[in-house]
Amino acid sequence: MTLHRNALVLLVAAAIAATTVTPTFAKPNNGAYARSGEAFKQKMYADYCAGLKSDFDKAEKEADKRSGTKAAKQYADQADNIWTYGHEAGCGWAA
């Protein structure tokens, strides 16, 4: 029983030591991530999805404005296509 307790005490001590030592090796934030390619890709993705959402909303509004006419089908089809693009891109609004 004491061997089990001693192992537990050593494990807890090691965990505490690891958490107190780790922050001393951390580098200060110099903004490198904001200038990285990964951040640029995420921003481009967000802008792409926002643009698709805007186009989708416009096409739906035009389809609603012309409801009951032949012109409504053109805008409804356009909205469906934009939704498909957004869904394929993984945009949250088209999930």
CA distance 79 to 95: 15
The crossing angle, in degrees rounded to 10, of helices 37-65 and 70-89 is 160
How many whole angstroms separate alpha carbon 22 and alpha carbon 24?
Answer: 5
Residue 61 in this model has a pLDDT that exceeds 90: yes
CA 11, 16, 21, 24 dihedral sign is: positive
Question: What is the value of pTM for the model shown?
Answer: 0.58
- pLDDT-based confidence at residue 32 (cuts at 50, 70, 90): confident
Distances (CA, A) of 29 to 12, 41, 66: 30, 20, 53
pLDDT band at 18 (very low <50, low <70, confident <90, very high): low
Mean pLDDT of 57-71: 92
The share of the chain scoring above pLDDT 70, in percent, equals 88
Q: In angstroms, rounded to a whole number, what is the distance separating the alpha carbons of residues 15 and 37?
A: 35
Average of per-residue pLDDT across 16-37:
72
